[in-house]
Structure formats: structure tokens, C-alpha cells
Amino acid sequence: MIVTIRLLLLMITSTLLFPLNISFDKNLPPREVEKRDPLMEVSRYSLLYHGAPDDQIETLSRAVANACRVANRHISPELIVSLIYTESGFRKDAVSPKGYMGLMQTPWASTKWPDIDIMLGVRILEEKLRIAKNNLPLALALYKGGDNPLAHRYAAETLRIYQDLLTAVEKNRTLTASQSKPDTGAGISDIFTSFAGIKVQLVLVHALVILIIGAALGYRGAKWRDKFRGARWKNAEGRMRREMTPLI
């Protein structure tokens, strides 16, 4: 009996020290979901905005984000997506009359691995920016074919698309921020969740306490019952002995 009580006390202590991780919403994971990469988010939105094929969104988003990370100069996902849009229309197997290939129309594109082709195009754009001393319109013209009127016209079109995309991304960011829950609301939700968790722990402790009390009462009752039975047996035994004693 003493061992049972000790075991129940150990269960109560474990319940209090190591509370259960109970989710009260089946849609919420037990741990906080890791936040998405901002570069991936901007790349994904930019591709969706310009109508990239749905089956390529994730692959292209990852490739654009990785190219931005390794770029020596600050090149944004919006700029890369705008350049891909004007160069190939997101067709990875596109080939120009002059032999330029792939998403970003470079001389050595694989047309099979978007991540390599985008990385190559970003490296070329970096070199054009270095030559143009970070003059983006001139760098785009050099990328488009050189310092000539036709290339400048193509560059101006790419720049316009790039500026429009920047505006759209900023509007989407503002809209997303306005629709997100304020911190106070999240705090209240956390408080209610904490209260619910505490309630569950109290219920468990209450149940264990009832088990202990029940076990203790059962043990005490068993002792009383055995004591009562022993007393009755002794009385009966004494009476039988008296009856069996011969009369003198």
C-alpha cells in the first residue's frame, strides 16, 4: 500500500513538473512554425504576379532567392523576375535568333537547370552593373545587347516592369501587415490557451488525488474489516470453548 501511495505521489509530481503539451486546435502545430524566408516570399509573389507557370513557382522562387543571396551586389528578387519575364517569358527552353538561351537568355545556359541559368544571368548582370558603375538603366541596356537605342528601349521596358513590380510588392506587404493579428490579440489567445492547459493539469491532479484517497480509504476499510472479522472469530472461538468445557 505504501508503495502504491508513493507511486501516485510520483505521478502527481511528474504531472506538475512536466505538463502535457496539448493542442486545443487541430490546425495548430505543437511547435511554432518556422517563418518563411523573406527572399522566397518576395520571389514567389513576383513570379505569381507576372504569371509564371504554377508548376515552376517553387523551383523558380528557390533559384531566384539563392541567386540573390550569393550576388556580390544588391540585386533584388523583383529585378531578377522582371528580367526573366522580359527575356524569356519564363520559358526555360527559349532560344533567341542570336543563340541566347534559357530563362535569362545567356550564351551558356543549360535550358534544363533553372537554378544554374538564373545564377549565370545574375553574374552577367553583376558584371554589367560594375561596368555601368551601378547605373541600372545602362546596365540593363548592356545586358540587352549594348549601348544602342534598341537595347536602351528594351532596358526601359524592363525598368518600367521592375518599378511596377516593386510597387505591387510594397502594396502586398502593407496589405498583409494590416490583415495580420495584432500582438495583443495573440497574447489574449495565448492566455486562454494557458488557462485551458492549467485546467487540464488540475483535472489530472484531482483525479490522482481521488485515487490516493480511494486507495487509502480502501486500505483503512480492509484493515477495519479484518479487525472486525478477527474479533468475531475470537468471540466465536471463546464461546465454543466454553460450550465444550465439561460441567463439573
pLDDT on residue 214:
63
- pLDDT the model gives residue 72: 84
Packing angle of the helix pair 57-70, 114-131 (nearest 10 deg): 40
pLDDT, block means (10 residues), the chain with 248 residues: 54 50 42 64 96 95 95 92 96 90 90 91 96 96 92 96 96 83 50 48 60 63 62 61 55
| Distance of alpha carbon 50 from alpha carbon 101, whole angstroms | 20
Cell match 546596365: residue? 139
Cβ count near 80 (within 10 Å): 26
Cβ–Cβ < 8 Å for 120, 108: yes
Q: How many CB atoms lie within 10 A of CB 15?
A: 17
pLDDT at residue 50 in the model: 96
| pTM for this entry | 0.59
For 25-55, b/e burial (b = at least 16 CB within 10 A) is eeeeeeeeeeeeeebbbbbbbbbebbebeee
| pLDDT confidence of residue 230 | 62
Q: Give 21: exposed, middle or buried? Use CB within 10 Å, 0-12, 13-18, 19+.
A: exposed
The pLDDT score that the predictor gives to residue 24 is: 40
Spacing of C-alpha 231 from chain mean position: 70
- What is the pLDDT, as a whole number, of residue 87? 95
* Contact predicate 215/5, CB 8 Å: yes
How high is the pLDDT of residue 27?
47
